[in-house]
């Protein structure tokens, strides 16, 4: 039987080995899902919400343990790992409190004596999840999906197998029926077979554009619904009247949080010419204050990338951008999986730093002639996950809402996920929505019921 090793990206040391699932073990897990499905379907929403409250409580009780596991497996700074677990508990609390209302029948007035929409679970949902937020990405899928009455199979990233197993045990310890939520440790080659299996009713993926296209193609061939949250190249638009004194720290955090490994990070800073030089100076000064070091130390803000190959790919993107004319203001040094916070100025379309998703602590700063040019540059991307705008002209910024083509538009704050708000993208950033009401209705049968005597 083959194994998967978890490896500490900061020290380079192997942590632990895990047995990789075989075709036989995956078949057994699918059979277990089928055996528990009816029992889970028949539980009331209130009963499911009570179990979700247990998950929230366990997350908070074990947050130090889970945070250290994340930090060890993918290098997230420990303070940010703890914050991630706390956010997971928040999402569980949101759905535990609101699920009954969100899933209530929706009455529709027709010529029937009674007509309404009933929201019924689909069955087993396959979740293919990434390593960058190894608990949050899973919980934001599992909390609403399981509470709606579905069961779940998690295929997590191969470099966070400990997180995958810990999440499976979390739901079991919270009182969920055995088999209701399971993880499999397998490679991408197993995903196509899983999607084709009749037990799997739908698929959700958070990952790269390439992975999304592959999942969508396979799911489409098998007539399975998908929700895809893919890459991003978010624009942070800075108008000439932006209050840097007030918002600069937020802008730096928007790029450098999680060592820049976030699909919704501000990757392109599009700054109006009048403020450009001042912005570059202040942004650079603030970035230099960020503490790099051991992710297990509380004062560390910049840890390491999750794998050394990711750092090498990022360096290639930066180097190619410099070859095309970008100016290196700071950074562009790597050692193992560590990549120094990097700032590129005078970035223009056609450079990797403008056109591609840079998954690490690299800020591309683009000069815009004026506000209209800034909006045009922001929309000049194949991605559409989110955009942010910093300005004192709130009334004028509201007129821009229809002109921003992304799935989210944040004014004077960084793009972030919130259980109360729907989350998802457009264009190459995917389709469908997670979180909020849309998230819990993503994998239900919206059944029309029409009653006439």
**How far apart are alpha carbons 383 and 427 in whole angstroms?**
6
| DSSP structure class, residue 442 | T
User: Which of 91, 104, 83 minimizes the C-alpha distance to 52?
Assistant: 91
Q: 78-102 and 63-74 are packed helices; what angle lies between their axes, rounded to 10 degrees?
A: 120
| Residue ranges with strand state E in 225-276 | 225-229, 234-238, 266-272
Q: DSSP 3-state assignment of 269?
A: strand
CA nearest to 343, candidates 288, 395, 411: 288
Half-sphere exposure of 298 (CA within 13 A, CB side): 2
Quote the tokens at residue 147: 């509470």
CA distances from 413 to 129, 250, 266, 435 (A): 26, 7, 11, 19
CA dihedral 252, 253, 256, 260 (to 10 degrees): -130
Dihedral sign (CA 172, 175, 176, 177): positive
Cα separation, 442 vs 204, whole angstroms: 10
Q: What is the CA radius of gyration of the chain?
A: 23
Q: Specify which residues 245 forms β-bridges with.
A: none
CA 151/CA 84 separation, integer angstroms: 24
**Strand pairing of 362-368 and 266-272?**
parallel
- DSSP 8-state class, residue 332: -
Alpha-carbon 157 to chain mean position? 13
DSSP H or E segment with residue 202: strand 200-206
Does residue 229 have an active-site annotation?
A: yes
Q: What is the DSSP letter of 303?
A: -
The span from the CA of 371 to the CA of 41, in Å, is 53
Catalytic residue among 229, 240, 308, 356: 229
Residues 6+ apart with CB under 8 A from 37: 123, 124, 151
Just list the catalytic residues. 229
């Amino acid at each position: 039987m083959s194994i998967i090793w978890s490896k500490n990206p900061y020290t380079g040391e192997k942590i632990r080995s895990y047995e990789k699932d075989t075709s036989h073990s995956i078949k057994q897990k699918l059979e277990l899902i089928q055996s528990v499905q009816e029992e889970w379907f028949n539980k009331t929403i209130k009963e499911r919400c009570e179990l979700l409250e247990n998950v929230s409580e366990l997350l908070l009780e074990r947050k130090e343990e889970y945070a250290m596991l994340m930090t060890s497996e993918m290098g997230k700074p420990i303070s940010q790992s703890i914050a991630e677990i706390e956010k997971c508990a928040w999402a569980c609390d949101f759905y535990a409190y609101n699920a009954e209302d969100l899933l209530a029948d929706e009455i529709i007035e027709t010529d029937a004596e009674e007509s309404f929409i009933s929201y019924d679970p689909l069955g087993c949902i396959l979740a293919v999840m990434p390593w960058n937020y190894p608990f949050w990405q899973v919980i934001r899928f599992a909390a609403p999906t399981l509470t709606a009455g579905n069961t779940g199979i998690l295929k997590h990233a191969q470099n966070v197998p400990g997180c995958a197993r810990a999440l499976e045990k979390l739901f079991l310890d919270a009182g969920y029926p055995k088999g209701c939520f399971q993880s499999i440790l397998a490679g991408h080659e197993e995903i196509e077979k899983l999607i084709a299996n009749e037990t799997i009713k739908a698929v959700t993926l958070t990952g790269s554009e390439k992975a999304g296209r592959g999942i969508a193609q396979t799911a489409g061939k098998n007539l399975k619904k998908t929700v895809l949250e893919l890459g991003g190249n978010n624009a942070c638009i800075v108008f000439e009247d932006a209050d840097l004194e007030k918002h600069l720290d937020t802008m730096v955090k928007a790029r450098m949080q999680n060592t820049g490994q976030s699909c919704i990070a501000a990757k392109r800073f599009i700054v109006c010419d009048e403020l450009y030089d001042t912005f570059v100076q202040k942004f650079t000064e603030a970035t230099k204050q960020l503490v790099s070091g051991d992710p297990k130390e509380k004062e560390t803000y910049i840890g390491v990338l999750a794998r050394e190959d990711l750092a090498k790919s990022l360096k290639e993107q930066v180097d190619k951008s410099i070859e095309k004319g970008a100016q290196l203001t700071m950074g562009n040094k790597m050692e193992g999986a560590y990549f120094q916070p990097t700032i590129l100025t005078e970035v223009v379309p056609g450079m990797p730093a403008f056109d591609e998703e840079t998954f690490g602590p690299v800020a591309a700063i683009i000069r815009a002639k004026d506000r209209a040019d800034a909006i045009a540059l922001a929309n000049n991307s194949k991605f559409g996950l989110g955009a942010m705008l910093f300005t004192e002209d709130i009334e004028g910024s509201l007129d821009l809402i229809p002109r921003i083509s992304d799935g989210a538009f944040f004014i004077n704050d960084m793009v972030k996920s919130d259980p109360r708000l729907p989350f998802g993208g457009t264009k190459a950033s995917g389709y469908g929505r997670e979180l909020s009401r849309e998230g819990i209705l993503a994998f239900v049968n919206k059944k029309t019921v029409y009653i006439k005597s």
